[in-house]
């Protein structure tokens, strides 16, 4: 494992995922990329809410969203990786989660992926889809899934 990607989300279990990834990556002398993806739906919802503020003139651009997502990943990394001697980079992205995870992994030459999994029944996965399953099927390398 030379470089791993850990997907950072807003769940409490994310810190445990990032810490676990950091410990494993540090043990083999690798590097870690922390990625937080803001979905198009989240962006649009916040953008519309900001436009509703009268006379504010506030703009909410895609670059601001990506910067905020990067800052979120960096904050989680700083807290979760405290005391672990591992090199990491925070990255923010906007768009479809699966697409952005796979693009970022490819762009940063990641050979391992860490992602949180949700406990769902097979029927639930079929009806609602499952990000983790999609990433596992489309990533060309090992994927470590951590569940709550």
The CATH number of whichever domain residue 73 belongs to comes to: 3.40.50.620
Helix (H, G, I), strand (E, B) or coil at 16: helix
Say how many domains are in the chain: 1
**Phi/psi at 32 (nearest 5 deg)?**
-125, 135
Which domain covers residue 16, as residue numbers? 3-147
Query: What pLDDT is recorded for position 48?
Result: 79
Paired sense of beta strands 31-38 and 3-7, if any: parallel
Query: What pLDDT is recorded for position 51?
Result: 74
Query: What pLDDT is recorded for position 49?
Result: 78
Query: Per DSSP, what are the bridge partners of residue 7?
Result: 35
pLDDT digits (tens, 9 = 90+) for 111-128: 999 998 776 666 555 544
Per-run averaged pLDDT (10 residues), the chain, 148 residues: 95 91 96 96 83 71 90 97 96 96 97 84 55 89 86
Query: What pLDDT is recorded for position 68?
Result: 93
Query: Per DSSP, what are the bridge partners of residue 114?
Result: 6, 144
Helix (H, G, I), strand (E, B) or coil at 22: helix
pLDDT digits (tens, 9 = 90+) for 27-48: 999 999 999 999 999 988 887 7
Closest of 22, 42, 17 to residue 97, by C-alpha: 42
109's torsion region: left (phi>0), alpha (psi -120 to 50) or beta?
left
Q: Compute the Cα dihedral for 116, 118, 124, 128 and give only its sign.
A: negative
Closest of 139, 141, 132, 133 to residue 13, by C-alpha: 132
Q: Tell me how far apart the alpha carbons of residues 138 and 14 are, in angstroms, rounded to a whole number.
A: 22
């Amino acid at each position: 494992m030379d470089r791993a990607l850990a997907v950072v989300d807003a769940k409490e279990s994310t810190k445990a995922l990032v810490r676990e990834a950091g410990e494993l990556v540090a043990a083999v002398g690798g590097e870690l990329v922390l990625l937080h993806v803001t979905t198009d739906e989240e962006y649009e919802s916040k953008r519309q809410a900001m436009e509703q503020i009268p006379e504010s003139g506030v703009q909410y651009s895609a670059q601001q969203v990506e910067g905020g997502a990067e800052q979120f990943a960096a904050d989680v990394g700083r807290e979760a990786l405290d005391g672990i001697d591992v090199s990491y980079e925070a990255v923010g992205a906007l768009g479809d989660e699966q697409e952005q995870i796979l693009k970022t992994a490819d762009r940063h030459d990641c050979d391992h992926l860490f992602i949180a999994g949700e406990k769902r029944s097979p029927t639930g996965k079929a009806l609602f889809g499952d990000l983790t399953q999609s990433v596992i099927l489309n990533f060309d390398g090992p994927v470590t899934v951590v569940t709550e």
